Structure 1
């Protein structure tokens, strides 16, 4: 990871929501631990009542959305540093690969590492790796996100 420019982690839910375009009940990130221009470390404690929790477990779509929102949080913080007043809207353009190793239980704490591979205009190619609170690999992905300009 390149140099972290955060003086301290952002753990306040209100502040996190200001940095992403998603709004409750569809928020799948709750913390920004580290940020550099090309990398980030984000977190999420999975609420029992999350709309993507099924039978007590965070679903595959939930994991994928968490990884995408981790990228959104990265982009939102970058926008904040650049002086933007609100976060840019974006979406998953394509998923080259995703591998889910297991479904974490509701209440689990996820940590996701994003690494920007390339950016071309409004398309960002990013890899993500999500671990549980014990460091066990939950999922990996290689996706393209598109920012609406």
Structure 2
């Protein structure tokens, strides 16, 4: 297992926003707990007024976006470590699999683990698993993300 390269978790929402290309109100991550070259652990306390909360629950689109932004946050921290001034833009290129087991209630704290399986020419194959504050798996996915200059 690779060593966590974070000295301490990043919990400041303003610092997180500096590491991702997304901006409010479309930010779906608020913390970075662990970082290695190939893995990351992010967090998100779902605001009740989040743009993707519907009828008190984070929507399917919100969960997918949270998983994608978890990868984006990993990429952003990687860029920060290599001296980039601002994060590169990325997007979901394809979703190979997605399993949404439940929609989390607003105010729930999510933790997502991302792992890079393969990377070639700006396309990254990544798996993600999101759990709620009780450790219950909420969603899993395997997607390709594309990073552009």
> C-alpha displacement at 1:76, in angstroms?
0.1
- Aligned residue pair count: 149
TM-score w.r.t. the length of structure 2 is 0.99
SS of the equivalent of 1:95 reads strand
| 1:28 corresponds to 2:28 | yes
Q: Distance in 2 between matches of 1:77 and 1:118?
A: 18
Within 5 Å, give how 1:41-120 maps onto structure 2: 41-120=41-120
> C-alpha displacement at 1:130, in angstroms?
0.1
Q: Which runs of 5+ in 2 are unaligned?
A: none
SS of the equivalent of 1:87 reads coil
Runs of 4+ in 1 over 3 A off after TM superposition: none
Q: Distance in 2 between matches of 1:40 and 1:81?
A: 14
Alignment RMSD: 0.5
> C-alpha displacement at 1:2, in angstroms?
1.8
1:4 match: 4
> C-alpha displacement at 1:121, in angstroms?
1.4
> C-alpha displacement at 1:89, in angstroms?
0.2
TM-score w.r.t. the length of structure 1 is 0.99
